[in-house]
Structure 1
Amino acid sequence: MDLDVLNMFLIAGGTLLIPILAFVTSFFFWPAALIKIYYWYWRRALGMQVKYVICGNYKFCYTSRGRPGPKPSILMLHGFSAHKDMWLAVVKFLPKNLHLICVDMPGHEGTTRSALDDYSFAGQVKRIHQFVESINLNKKPFHLIGTSMGGCVAGVYASQYPSEMSSLTLICPAGLQHPTDSKFLKQLRDLKESGDDQRIPLIPSTAEEMEQMLKLCSYVRFKIPQQVLQGLVDVRIPHNDFYRKLFLDIVDEKSRHTLQESMHKITAPTQILWGRQDQVLDVSGAEVLSNAIPRSQVEILENCGHSVVMERPRKSAKLIVDFLSSVQTTENNKKHD
């Protein structure tokens, strides 16, 4: 073979080999870095731009797509120990003509974390209102979506600022008194009785604990390689002290039932989504909410656990879009009457 031709093959082979080796090396030795690259890629692919806004000495990090238009903007609030990118799976299936905003909740990811901050549900509502005002989102009513911890914050926000709401979606929200205890609550009770109340199933520190947490949060059984589980843990471990403080703040006696105490003040058209097999917050909470919020719509997703937006992103997106359309139709009919 001609030497120039051989060199060409070696160069071409090396060009292909370098990214493959980089991926394999990252997978085995730096899985946490690979996870960050994954989110970076999907943000770019879906057109979600990372932005920051400063309020005094406090910084909010968020992603957004599109601009405010005739349809209400959508603000999404994530759950405990998650971050803004957890919504990417749903964003993928939402129309591109909607103005979307996903914010890192107080103390999470790129948003300011302070030991002096109030991380109770009431404290988080104040911070989210600060964020909404800082980006002028409340110039006109917007649609608010929250899941789990973020669901409680969204519901309480809607009860306190009804004029800012066009509509509301609550996805298995925290902050309720459930007629039926979940597996997670029973685990917490057992750990407390055994004297091991320092261990919280939602705050893993090993790959094995990470796997158990995923099983608790999801009905769908994802087969996740050990290296990826370790990567997920590695990303979280530096934040575990904060997660523990946050968890204790939101389950404190003064905070744990904040949505229960506020739900009767919610006047916005409300959609309630819940996974039938939710082991973290029992599905019986859906009826508690629907009985308190007039004309609320309930959708129970079969074969689905607590991580609704991760397990059923396409279905979640469709239900949200259909709900928004029905709210818009109702509003238009009122104008014509």
Structure 2
Amino acid sequence: MQYEVKKLDKFKYIEEGEGEPLILLHGLFGALSNYEHLISHFRHTHKVIVPMLPMFELDLLHTSVGGFAKYINKFIEKMGYKNYHLLGNSLGGHIALVHILKHPENVQTLILTGSSGLYESGMGDSYPRRGDYEYIKKKTEVTFYDPATATPDLIDEVYKICNNRLQLIRILALAKSAIRNNLGEELGQIKQPTLLVWGNQDTVTPPFVAHEFNKLIPNSELKFIDKCGHAPMMEQPAEFNAILEEFLTKIKKSAATLA
């Protein structure tokens, strides 16, 4: 399904459906296709918002986890979203964590899947090689349990980014920023109900990372999806959506009881 990319000032975003806002933050090589199944499912019950992170548009100084967290806060303030659910995958999860720690007042729930912020293997033990298509193909495939999930279009997109020197510099700056920005000592401050959804075969942020998040975030619950890597909402969308729907329904019922 094709979604309209809207523009407001410097911001580009998708906004589909009506209801409580559900804001989705994509990862380092994130694309709209990552959330296609999630958008089509939840647009019937929520206002689903996907801000396009300006991965290659900010100056190098602000190309960092903190820089993108500030960008997202400005976007949310501009749009006037209140009482929203915040979901992030990989780097997007890390940005969501920084946001909720600095601006907890309007966040209703937090959902993390394959999030950085504690540990990640990133590109592994080597930098992405410009011009080496097979290397990029293997690095993209290892993100998933089933290598076939890395479609030729997705591999081509990652290859295109890594083969552009200026874009590659920004990717490396972001990856290093994520490694430096460890949030372990701050996660105990998060009070909102938090859902952690992890792939059992995630090699980028392995299952022990999910257990550590679960231990450090007080009001959190952890769900694993089998035969699944670093992007559950993309690789196992039906199971991911069912877990998320159950969580959001439970939160809504709890809020109604308290009211």
State how many pairs are aligned: 259
Counterpart check, 1:314 vs 2:214 = no
Deviates more, 1:325-334 or 1:93-102: 93-102
Q: TM-score by structure 2 length?
A: 0.89
Q: Segments of 4+ in structure 1 off by > 6 A? A: 223-226
Counterpart check, 1:174 vs 2:122 = no
Aligned to 1:122: 66
Q: Using a 3 Å threshold, how does the CA distance of structure 1 residues 66 and 145 change in structure 2: closer, same or farther? A: same
Structure 2 stretches of 5 or more lacking a match? Answer: none
Q: How does 1:105-144 map to 2 (within 5 A)?
A: 105-107=53-55, 113-137=57-81, 140-144=82-86
Aligned to 1:270: 194
Aligned to 1:232: 157
After superposition, what is the alpha-carbon deviation per residue over 1:194-252, rounded to whole angstroms, capped at 9, x for unaligned? Answer: xxxxx23xx764431232022210001317786x4774356435655324324334424
Task: State which of 211, 223, 244 in structure 2 corresponds to 1:299.
Answer: 223
Does structure 1 conserve the Cα–Cα contact (< 8 Å) formed by 2:131 and 2:163? Answer: no
Aligned alpha-carbon RMSD (Å): 2.5
Q: TM-score by structure 1 length?
A: 0.70
After superposition, what is the alpha-carbon deviation per residue over 1:153-201, rounded to whole angstroms, capped at 9, x for unaligned? Answer: 11121121111111110011011047xxx5x57x32xx4xxxxxxx23x
Task: State which of 41, 60, 65 in structure 2 corresponds to 1:93.
Answer: 41
Task: State which of 39, 48, 52 in structure 2 corresponds to 1:104.
Answer: 52
> Whose radius of gyration is greater, 1 or 2?
1
Does structure 2 conserve the Cα–Cα contact (< 8 Å) formed by 1:91 and 1:317? Answer: no
Q: How does 1:1-337 map to 2 (within 5 A)?
A: 42-43=1-2, 48-54=3-9, 59-67=10-18, 69=19, 72-107=20-55, 113-137=57-81, 140-177=82-119, 187-188=124-125, 191=126, 199-200=127-128, 205-222=131-148, 228=153, 231-233=156-158, 235-237=160-162, 239=164, 241-252=166-177, 256-335=180-259
Structure 1 stretches of 5 or more lacking a match? Answer: 1-41, 192-198
Does structure 2 conserve the Cα–Cα contact (< 8 Å) formed by 1:207 and 1:229? Answer: no
Where 1:73 maps in the other structure, the secondary structure is strand
**Matched residues in 1 for 2:159 and 2:115: separation?**
27
Alpha-carbon deviation of 1:324? 0.5
